[in-house]
Amino acid sequence: MPKVIACSRRRPGLTKADYFRYLQFIHGTISHKFSRPEMGWYTQNHVIDSAFGTTKDSTYGGIANRDAAVELSFASFPDLYACFMHPDVVKWVASDGKFFADEPNTIVMITEEYEKPVPNPLDTFNPGYGLASGVGAGKVMQFLRRAEGVFLDDFYQYWNEAHEYAMENAPYCRKELRRYVQSHRLAQSDNVKAHFGTVNVPDYDGVASYWFDTPYHLSAFREYNEALMNYEKRWCDWSMSFYLFVKEVPIHYKER
Amino acid sequence: MSQEVWVKTGAEFIPSPREKVEIWRTGDLTEEEKKKPYAKYFYRDLNPPDPDVLKAMEKPIDPSRAITPEQINDLLEPGYLDCEIGWCQMPDGTGFIANLNKMPGVTVEMVYWWFTWMTLNDLRYKIWYKPSHIGHYISPETRKAILDPKSRIPEDTLWGRTHYAVEDIGVGPEFIHIHFKSPEECGFDMKRFKKPYVSGLVAGYGDEMMLNDPHAPRGCAVMCHILRDVEGGIEWRTRFWMGYRLEKGRADKVLPPGEKVPEEAIRGLALHNAHEFANYKVMLPDIYRELGGKIFED
C-alpha cells in the first residue's frame, strides 16, 4: 500500500497559527470536499516541537523548520495516480498548497509501510484502553537520511538492527511505545513531486513513526533516539536527519 | 529525478556507473580483469538465440495471449501457457514479455550458484553477455552473506537481496536496481510451489534509471524466471511485466494512467533476454564445472 508523505513549512508571511488554521480548516476542508473514493486515509501531523541534526553540529545543513507532515495512504499505485491526477484534485487541492506551504522546499516521498511489533501496544492504566491498541496522542515522526556511501538495502538492514538495539537499551521507551512504523522511500517518489511543487530538497530514505500515550511521554523517544544514534554501525546521516513531535489531525479516515 | 538525488545515489557506487560505461566502451577488459582465470569466457564467441525465438520476437503478440502478474500462479500449471515466447504492449500500457529456453546440462543448483557467485565483480557479469552487460554492484552486507559458508543459497544470498546492474539493452546505459524476492514475496501459491511444477525461481522487480538522463522518470518491471526440471536439464520460462513493482506478495502497477511503456522498450528487453540467456545456457555448465561450483571472491 503506497503512502505519500509530504513535509512542509509555512510559506513566508504566515504565523504558525495562520498556517495551522489554513492547513486544517481550509486545505483540510477542500481536501475532504474533493476526496476521491480511491483515497485511503489522510492524516495531517501538526508539528508541536522539532529537532534538526544533533547537538554535535554547529549548524544544520538543510532547512531547520518544518511545520507539518501529511500522510495519504492508498490501496495501490493506480489508486494513488487516479487521485492525484483527477481534474478536481489538480484544480482545487494541489493548487491550494501555495497559499500555506513553502512548496519548493516541501519534502515529498512515496513510501511503503513496515510496522514492527512493540512490547506494550496497550496502556494498562485503564481497562477501557483495551478496545484499541497501538494508538496514542503523542506521536514522533523521524526523517532519516542514510549516511553517504551506504547502500540502500544495507541502510534498511542497519535501521532494523539499530531499532532493536535502541529498544533493548531504552527501557522507558520500550515500556511506553505503543506503535512503531517504518516508511521506506520508493523510487517512484519523484512522480508526485510536481503535485506538491517541490523543486529541490534533500531526499530522505525513510520515516519512522512512534506513538505514545500522551505528549508527556514523548521524552521516552529522546532516550530511544540516544540509543539509536549510539548503534555501532555507521548507517544514518544524523546531521541531516530530524524529528518532529506532532499532533495527529485525521482529515479523511478509513479503517487501516 | 533531481541532480541532488543522483549525486547522493551515486556515493556508494565506486567506481561510478558512468566510469564503468567508459571501460565497457573500450570493448575489452581491464588489465586486472584479464588476469582472472575465467576471463577467457569473455573472449568466447557468443551463442546466438534459436532463430525461431527471434522470429517469434519480431512482432508483438495479441495481448489476449498474455498473462498479467496477478495470474503468476498459472506458471505452476503443468505443460505450457498459450504464449511462451513473445511480447506485447497491454491495453493498459504495461509491457508483457515471455520467453522459453531449454537448457540441456543445466541444473537449478548451477543457476543459484551463478546468481550468487556472479555478483562479486564486474567481469563475471560481463562474461554472461558482453554486448550489454557493463558492470555490477552489491552492498557490503550482501557480499558478506554471499561469502559466508553458513549462508543458504538462494535463501540468504539471492532472495531478499538487491543487485545493482549497469547494462545497455539498446536504449543507452541504464542503472537497474533489481530487488530479488522469494516465491512467497512474488505471490506464488506455496502449496503448489513444488516439483514437478517448479524447481527453482529467480525473480523480483527492478527500478531503472537512465544514465544519460538521470532526470527521466524511473521505469519499473517485475521479472520472473521460473525453472522446471526436464530430462537432461532444465527449462527456463521467463515473464516480464513492465510498469509493475512487487509489494508484499502482490504486483502493483506503477505506470501512471495514460502512459504506455514504449513498444521499442518492450521489444528491446525481449530481444535482450533472448540473447543473454542463449549465451548463458551454454556458458553456465562449462564455468560451473571448471570452478567446481564454489563461491570465492577473486
pLDDT tens readout for residues A140-192: 999 999 999 999 999 999 999 999 999 999 999 999 999 999 999 998 887 66
- Residues A22, A14: contact at Cβ < 8 Å? yes
Model confidence at B251: pLDDT above 50 = yes
Percent of the residues in chain A that have a pLDDT greater than 90, as a whole number: 76
Name the phi and psi angles at B225, rounded to 5: -110, 110
- Cα–Cα nearest to A116, from A224, A199, A40: A224
Length of chain A: 256
Helix (H) or strand (E) holding B281: helix B263-291
| CB-based contact B256 A191, cutoff 8 Å | yes
- Predicted confidence at residue B8, as pLDDT, reads 40
Pairing of strands A206-212, A179-185: antiparallel
How are strands ordered across the β-sheet holding B95-104? B86-89, B95-104, B233-242, B219-230, B200-210, B173-180, B162-168, B133-137
Q: How far is B254 from chain A (nearest CA, A)?
A: 5
- Cα–Cα nearest to A191, from B254, B251, B3, B266: B254
- Predicted confidence at residue A253, as pLDDT, reads 78
- What are the chain B neighbours of A188 within 8 Å (beta carbons)? 218, 220, 245, 254
* CATH-assigned architecture of domain A2-252: 2-Layer Sandwich (3.30)
Model confidence at A194: pLDDT above 70 = no
Residue-range domain boundaries for chain B: 3-291
- Cα separations (Å) of B104 from B229, B235, B236? 10, 8, 10
Q: Which residues pair with B175 in a beta bridge?
A: B166, B209
Mean pLDDT, residues A19-45? 93
Q: How many CB atoms lie within 10 A of CB A2?
A: 25
Model confidence at A195: pLDDT above 70 = no
Model confidence at A254: pLDDT above 80 = no
ipTM: 0.92
Residue-range domain boundaries for chain A: 2-252
Question: B3-291 belongs to which homologous superfamily?
Answer: START domain (3.30.530.20)
A2 close contact with B: CB closer than 8 A: yes
- Predicted confidence at residue B173, as pLDDT, reads 92
| CB-based contact B218 A200, cutoff 8 Å | no
A190 close contact with B: CB closer than 8 A: yes
A232 close contact with B: CB closer than 8 A: no
A160 close contact with B: CB closer than 8 A: no
- What are the chain B neighbours of A87 within 8 Å (beta carbons)? none
| CB-based contact B4 A76, cutoff 8 Å | no
Model confidence at B84: pLDDT above 50 = yes
- What are the chain A neighbours of B252 within 8 Å (beta carbons)? 2, 76-78
- Predicted confidence at residue A44, as pLDDT, reads 97
B207 close contact with A: CB closer than 8 A: yes
| CB-based contact A148 B252, cutoff 8 Å | no
| CB-based contact A190 B220, cutoff 8 Å | no
CB-nearest to A151 from B139, B245, B252 is: B139
Q: Hey, what's the cell of A234?
A: 555507521
